[in-house]
Every structure is written in structure tokens, then in C-alpha cells.
Amino acid sequence: MRKLLTAIALTASIISASAASPIVSEIADFVYPANYCPTGAISNFMPDDSGYLAANADNTKIVLYDIATGNEISTVFDASHTRENSINSFDHFIISPDGSRLLIATDVSSVYRRSSTAKYYTFDIKRNILRPLSRECDRQQAPLFSPDSRMVAFVADNNIKLRKLDYDTEIFVTDDGEAGKIINGIPDWVYEEEFSTNSLMTWSGDSSVLAFITSNETDVPTYSFPLYRGACHPMEEYTLYPGSFSYKYPVAGEPNSSVSLKSYDVATRKIVEINFGDKSTYYIPRIEFAPGTSTLLVTTLDRSQTRLEIYSANPKSTVTKSILVEQANCWIDPIAYENLVVTPTSFILNSSRSGYKHLYEYSLTGSLLRQITDGEAEVTECYGIDKDGNLYYQMAAPTPLDRTVYCLNTKGKTNIIGKESGYTSATFSPSLNYCVTTHSDITTPPVSTLSHSNGKQLRQLSDNATFTSKVSSLPEKKLITVNSDGVILNAWLMLPPNFDSGTKYPLIMTQYSGPGSQSVLNRWALDWEQFAATKGFIVASVDPRGTANRGRDFMDVVYRNLGYYETIDQVNSANYFASLSYVDSDRIGICGWSYGGYETLMCATQPANPFKVAVAIAPVTDWRFYDTIYAERYMLTPQENQDGYQASAPLNRTRNLSTKLLLMHGTADDNVHLQNTLEFVSQLQLDGTLCDMLLFPNMNHSINGCNARAVVYGNMMQYFINNL
């Protein structure tokens, strides 16, 4: 195929020369935020299960409701009737452990994906007194009540401060915090993003000690990207000259923050450092006191993330003891530390040691008490153990596409909470006496139900009848399987309305494909795929090797070689679909976002691939550009796996591109940097190859707000319409 000079469309109109495209308006009803399906779930139970709190529609009041009936009991907070201070409204609230106080958040501003700062207030419910959490710091981050509800630890300007509510005093816990160097109590960017946390502080059960992590990011390289005025939430200060945003971002193989564990004694105001004496301790993704005790459990990982070690630490004497070591052939599944459940006498670990994710209970000294679950169905979440010893968990069962919530009682009998087939998630009250289950399947929108934890239903919270009626005429997904070189892959297929098996239709394959992910589920979802089907496309999605809940052998095959098996499986799946009598083999497209964008480019640059059109959104184009924790978890460092990084980079495969390609990316993407797309386009330019590109000024990885999501998918759909 003759190659042309690169053509890059940098305007907002690949799709039309007009100021606005009709397809953007049409697709807007199918994508976020219009596709959000409310569940009515309860999220703010009172600590003693005496009721639950919920904000009114305009976030000016917080009302206490009866759990069983849903009837209003009382108004516990009214912004128009507070003593000492007043606010107009609030963004969210946090309940103290004893239920006597609230933290009220106003003027919330996002930092990264999970973190935010706000102007917080403390509210004494009985006395109706509203006070600023801090009188010295304008904004606060990650506030944390002490177990006795008498203090709040929070972070401001990289330092931890302590508010003693009884005395209305405020003191510094740390004073060495400094932007770009020392962070206390909260994670740096890569910890937050890849270890899924926004706080690195924990209180002892008697409220006498605050343990926290200090991160020294001095040696982490700085990453910067430009900021423009933009039309979405314009920043007028950058009208004529762009500004910039800089932060510490460690790419694969580069230095991470060095972390240290410390404890603060409230009575003496002294800080001591807790050491482990083990050079393999590189990351500390979680710290947690066993409830009601002074036993601190510290979860650590080596840099390769193949070795997890849990320590028991005494925060005052600083004595530590290794109580568990978990070694993996490839990587430790993040669920092991993200879902570590700690009780007053034990902890429950979700381990893949058998080849499948299962629960194991250990004493606080590290003795194995029991293996709780087994078999080939994998545990996807542990909710905890109630006072009677009943254990609640979610499992990918009866098939890997389903999620079922179970209760295992003290006699070893397992009961299902909610429904078995489909996708059920659960939220439990603090004592685990009550449970809100939300269930859907591939054809049925979510229904939320409040139950006792024994499964006895109390009332339905939401049936989404109006939403169901709205989408009842839309095309439905069908769950299928595809054979790829003898490996059976899970997939779904969506056919156009009034489907005619004698007609040949264009096909769009959408996928994510990342290790440990799962896109094919017996779960309801409304998105652009239904819109595409109404436009005459068949839409399909396939979970390739490397994805989750089919055992470690299925997942581990991608280790050190991302993109290889995923691409084989996506190409084989496309060839299978092409063999169907009703699929036009000359009109097959593929698309994806983030890892899905990466895999889209891997497929588009695969020799002799069957894809005519590809759309990659915010793609990684070389794992050397991506962060340490994620890239090294699956690839090790570039120094350890040079060949793997070379083979897995679409950037090194551009000469194979024969597919018509559209790239889209936010210019302020702090996660997958625009650098990925620009370097890819630069290489295409050197090769003399054509592509199209649309950039979203000041948008981050989610490309959301000001109708941007509709523009992303409207642009993608028009590209497929024009070229398939």
C-alpha cells in the first residue's frame, strides 16, 4: 500500500465542517452522563445501624432515615440553621465512628483520580455547632476521624495536622512536608493511581497513635504538560500564553518515592520511625490497625511485585515481625492488598496460590486458621465477618461472567444473598446486619434491594422502571464464546434492530484487554454500542488471554510480553466474525480506550490484520512512557526486560500500519500522557503514513465534561460510518 504524508486533523471537526454535528447530539443520550442508571443504594449507614443518612436534593440538609422502612426520622444537619458558622450547601459528608459528629465538605476540588481537597467543617450534631476543620489551612485533604471521634487527622500542604475537637485546638503532627519532595499521610501520584488509595494514615484502636507513611519523591523525575485557556471551564490567565502543570511521575525503570513508616504518639507528640530491616521492602501499599487494638498490620511489596510480605508492628516500641510471605511466579494480584480484611483477631487474605483467587484466614500472629473458599470459581470481594462469625463475600460464579454474593455461616453452610445468575454487588452496614444488593444481567437494568444479611428482603430501593422503559426497544447483547488457537474466549455480540441474516453488516469490535480486567460480563450497561447497532453496525467484544477470573494460567500468559497474546486473540476473533455469513469481512473496525487504545494500535499494526478502521483513545504506545507500578507489575523494568518492551510497543510497529486510524487524546492527561500519541504520530510522519487525530484541550484521561464524552464517541461513530 502506497503511503502518504501524515495528515493530522487538529480541529474539533473531523466529523463535519459545521459548528456542531447532529451525531454528537444523537449519541449524547447513550453515553455518560446521560447513561447513568441510578441504583438508590444506601451508602451512609449510622455506625450502630440505627439508621442511615442522606442529603436532600440541593445538598443543604442531611436527614436521618429508618433503615427498614425508609421513613424520615429527623434532620441532623440544616445548612440554614447552624451555630457559630454557616454555609450555603455542601458537596459530601463523613460520619464519625460514634455517630455524634460529621465532617462537612465544601468547595471540593479534584487533585488526581481519587484525591481531592476541600474546605471541611466539623459539625457536632447534638450541639448544632459548625466549625472549620482548620483555621490555619485554607484547604484540607484526606480527613480521618480517630476511633473515639474526638480528633481528626488531615493533610494540608503535604503535612499532617491534628484537630482536637473537645478542645478546639489544632496542632502540627509533621512539619517537613514540601511540594515535590516530602509527602506525609497521603500517596504520591503513582501510589494513588496504581495502589487505589487516597490516604496513608491509620489510627490505633484506642486513638492514642496515628501511624502514617512519609514519601520522599525528591529523586522522582518531574513531568510537565501545558495548560491552555480552553473553552471548557476556561482559565483566563492562559489566554495569550499557555501555563503548565508539573508533578512527579516515575516512568518504568526510573526511581520511585522512597517510603517510610512512622507513628505519632498523641500524648507525647513524638514521632518514631518503624523499620523492617528487609531490603525487599520497596512499596507499602497498605497500613491498618486491627480494629480496637494496637496491632499495626503493614503490607509490603518488592519492586517487581512478585513478593508480598505482611508485618505486625508495635507502633510505640517499633518492634516488627514478619507474619506472612506470599510469593507469586508472575505478579501479586492487587486484590491481595486492596481487599485485605482485618478483624480484631485475624486478617483475611485473597490469594491466588492455588491458581484461583480464594480466601485464607490468619491470626494476627500469622498462623493459618483456615482456607475459607476453594475451587475454580474466583472470589472477587470479601465484605467481612459479622459478630456471630458469618463471612460475606462475592464470587465470579456460577460462571466467570456472573457475580454472586454469599454468606458462609459458622456451620460451614453457604447461602446466596440476592440472585445467583447475573451480576450482584453488595454494600453492607457497619455491623453487617443489613445489606443492599444491586442486581442486573445483560438484558435487565439494575434493581437495588435492602435485605437483612440473612437474605430476608425488607424493601426494594430502586427498580429503574422508567429507565427500563426508556431503553426497552434498544438492541440486546448476547453472550457467546470464540475459539482462538484452541483457547475458548468469552465474548458478547450485539446485532442491529430488524437484523436480517441474509444481509452483510459492518462490524465494530470494542475491547479493553488489560491484564486482570474483564469487559465481558452478565451485567447490564448502556453506552455507545447500542447507538452503533441502531446505525446498522454489529458490535462485539472479546476478553482475550490475560483478563481476569479464569485462573492464573489464563492471566499469567501475558507476563513480560504485553500485547502479544491479546493481539493474537483479537485478530483470531475478528477472523471468526468475518467468517459469519452476515458479517462483511471487508468492513471490520476495532476501538478502545487507555489499555484498549493500546491494544487497538497493536492490532492495527499487526501484519495481515483484518481491520479496515481503528480508533484509539488515550493509548499507551510504549510501556517505557508509562508509570513504574503498573508497567513493571506486568513487564518488570526496561532494564530487566528490554526485548519485551521493544516487542510490546506499537511505537516500534508503525511501519506495519495499513489500517485507517483515528487517534484521540486529552492534552492534560496525567495518566497516559499525550506524549504517547504524539510520539506515535511523529513516527508515522517519518514513515510517511496517514492518520487522523483529535485533541481535547485541558482534558484528562477521562475526557469528560462540557459534552466532551459525546464528542469523543460521536467523532468515533462518524469515523466508522464514513470509513466502514
**CA separation for the pair 87, 120 (Å, rounded):** 11
Q: Cα dist. 282→276, 279, 306 in Å?
A: 11, 7, 12
Q: Classify residue 68 as left (phi > 0), alpha (psi -120 to 50) or beta.
A: alpha
**CA separation for the pair 387, 376 (Å, rounded):** 29
DSSP 8-class letter at 295: P
Annotated active-site residue in 519, 594, 648, 673: 594
For residue 525, which amino acid is it? Answer: A
| Long-range contact pairs involving 120-128 (C-beta distance under 8 Å, separation at least 24) | 120/154, 121/85, 121/87, 122/152, 122/163, 122/165, 123/77, 123/82, 124/100, 124/165, 125/76, 125/77, 125/99, 125/100, 125/101, 126/100, 127/83, 128/81, 128/82, 128/83
All three cell numbers of 547, joined, read 483478563
Check: CB of residue 612 under 8 Å from CB of residue 527. Answer: no
> How do beta strands 346-351 and 358-363 pair?
antiparallel
Check: CB of residue 512 under 8 Å from CB of residue 312. Answer: no
* 669 flagged as catalytic: yes
* 586 flagged as catalytic: no
Which of 440, 407, 409 is CA-nearest to residue 422?
440
Which of 493, 477, 478, 481 is CA-nearest to residue 526?
477
HSE (side-chain half, CA atoms, 13 Å) at 334: 16
Which of 210, 221, 126, 219 is CA-nearest to residue 171?
210
All three cell numbers of 667, joined, read 492534552
∠ Cα 519 521 527 (to 5°): 65
Alpha helix (H) ranges present in 642-694? 642-647, 674-687
Crossing angle for the helix pair 564-579 and 595-604, nearest 10 degrees?
Answer: 70
In 3-state terms, what secondary structure has residue 314?
coil
Annotated active-site residue in 439, 665, 673, 701: 701
Check: CB of residue 434 under 8 Å from CB of residue 453. Answer: yes
> How do beta strands 129-132 and 116-124 pair?
antiparallel
**CA separation for the pair 690, 680 (Å, rounded):** 12
Check: CB of residue 708 under 8 Å from CB of residue 696. Answer: yes
**CA separation for the pair 98, 126 (Å, rounded):** 12
Annotated active-site residue in 669, 670, 673, 692: 669
Residue labelled with grid coordinates 502514617: 212
Q: Cα dist. 364→274, 280, 321, 342, 387 in Å?
A: 18, 22, 11, 9, 17
Which of 187, 217, 188, 189 is CA-nearest to residue 201?
187
HSE (side-chain half, CA atoms, 13 Å) at 691: 29
Strand partners, 425: 438
Check: CB of residue 507 under 8 Å from CB of residue 451. Answer: no
* 134 flagged as catalytic: no
**CA separation for the pair 425, 438 (Å, rounded):** 5
What would the 3-class secondary structure string for 556-615 be? HCCCCCCCHHHHHHHHHHHHHHHHCCCEEEEEEEEEEECHHHHHHHHHHCCCCCCCCEEE
Cis peptide before 544 (omega within 30 of 0): no
**CA separation for the pair 113, 656 (Å, rounded):** 35
Residues annotated as catalytic are 594, 669, 701
